[in-house]
Amino acid sequence: MQESQPKPSRRGFFFGAAATGAAAAAVAALPGITGVPVQEASLEDAKPAPEKGGGYSLSEHVKRYYKTTRI
């Protein structure tokens, strides 16, 4: 048994063309948008590496992640 595929319609074509035009307009507008300045991390703020290897530490961002996983 073969399933017949619907013929492409003009309505679908124009809908796709409109969506493409809207996407192009949005991309063209993006370079004018200014973002929030990002604070760069410095090496002075970093903790020293552990002497015996490893490297896992329970930092604030890890604690926030654990809070989001609670049920």
Q: Divide the 71 residues of the chain into consecutive groups of 10 and give the mean pLDDT of each group.
A: 72 88 82 66 66 78 90 77
Element at 12 (helix H, strand E): helix 10-29
Q: What's the rounded Cα separation, in Å, for the pair 30 and 24? A: 10
| Residue 42 pLDDT | 63
Tokens in use for 62? 């890890």
| Residue 9 pLDDT | 82
Q: What is the CA radius of gyration of the chain?
A: 26
Type of residue numbered 61: H
| Residue 28 pLDDT | 80
| Residue 58 pLDDT | 82
Cα 63 to the center of its chain, rounded Å: 22
